[in-house]
Structure 1
């Protein structure tokens, strides 16, 4: 079967419909989209700049923070520019190759983002449970290797998704009811058998979300056990304060993802535009909040950021 039921002169394209039902409000919706994107870019680039410039911040924790900032920048950039083109210029067409490329990079970066949060949880575990061995266990080189493992995992897990979609036939309906090439939204418009695609999507969801959250939960379980063994309340507070920023980032990252996944699969009565707005929010809000959270909660970074802001 041909991949597309089109005449030879027709370009193989999809149509991204934006947010169906809210077309009249697209201009207004673009305001928070562009605002969140600009704040995210400024905040994350500031972190990258300050960490790069300050030799005292060349430590595993801040290397992880740079990885997080890079994934935040990449994740929003995969989605927002095209979404704004839809909202502002009604530029809804996207080539099939462009759609699959966007999907691959978006989900690979999202998987890498989750891997960075797991490594951060391990970093906090070592800092609290093995403080005397921290410098020997977590070196910059070892953090870089863990980051590389997370990147390889992300690529290997996500690469089959666009390849499996490539084999599907797409007939008359080429309209994707979304602002970006979300996997299930593309699967839904296929006129072929999508069982394998849907099953693989479940596998990815389990491996990336459930497994990563389990590893993070295990790290924090060990942290809590170690903290409870400390008799000093001041030491309790100091130990928990080192985890505050990471816990806040996890809540802003995983809460909207889990809510979106659950409403997508079980909230059949929820309007389509609500699903789409939620799917966009979990790509926009965490990258905007993460640099703010770490800027406020991490004293070393806050002091260095303040120094550079005062020079402006």
Structure 2
């Protein structure tokens, strides 16, 4: 059977795995689906909804069977009624990004963002980080003007004065830090673990256990290679950017990869607690159409398989 795996550079593990040929040894009929080549989702109002491209394509013809994203997209999937199953999580990515402003902006704390323009890649983990930061100081989503900048454009908009603050992520955040005096309003570690999350549909998980196990094993092997060879891994991202007519710095990408955790871990109770709290906030602020139960997406046998694979990878 053909196993369709979605990938894009923002999930570093799957992006490198796409180029390593490891999964093909176990599953010769792998079909790699580049998320960037899929049709753009219908636009949503950043003030009242979340985009759902990742979850919708998990259940669509021409989409994929397995995908890895950040913290927020699985919550969108559950809120839309998709029967999503969690596969595993990365370690905390607390150094991957944070909420920043320029030092001369006059903004000293998160509370100063009331009525201000804040850039995020809407629908990603950045939406969750901003909402968690606002909630901690007694503000709501309606108290700021969120601006969907995408992942790459926010830094330039902040410097140009089009944004008052920005949830920046590496390596893009490094370019702003190197050229400007940046103030951190809130880091990631104090808000949530910000793990990557791999997920699938319940139907695929239940009927393709061996294939799912092969994907996890390949991720473990590939991630171990990235950790041991960050500069070589960084080359995949730089070459991809150049091939698309852009630019990327090898040293910056290497630094970003060195600072990230590698390997797939079972979904933890602490992660689920963070997700449930965030899902409740998203629903209360009108960004999800309903509340969800994140533990409905957890299947014990998958966690046991991931744990066994993780242990084998460290021997």
Q: TM-score, structure 1 length as denominator?
A: 0.29
Per residue, is there more strand in 1 or in 2? 2
Structure number with the higher helix fraction is 1
